[in-house]
Structure 1
């Protein structure tokens, strides 16, 4: 596992937690939070497996 993959494994959960926190505070709608989580997971998966 290289440094880029390790960074993805660290950054993606932070993005997910941040989106959930914004949803709980009322700053994001549910659809926005779901879209943010889905996009970050999809991007992380593509980047992780193409590295």
Structure 2
């Protein structure tokens, strides 16, 4: 696994964790967190598979 692929995984997890933290503090609604998670996974998967 290259450093770029490892970076994609790490950054994706951080983005999703940050979205859940924002939900816990009441900044985001549940639909926003779900949308963030789905979009993040989709983008990371497409970049991961094309490298």
- CA-based RMSD of the aligned residues comes to 0.6
Q: Distance in 1 between matches of 2:45 and 2:2?
A: 15
TM normalised by structure 1 equals: 0.93
TM normalised by structure 2 equals: 0.93
Q: Give the unaligned 5+ runs of structure 1.
A: none
Report the equivalent of 1:50: 50
Q: How many aligned residue pairs are there?
A: 51
Runs of 4+ in 1 over 4 A off after TM superposition: none
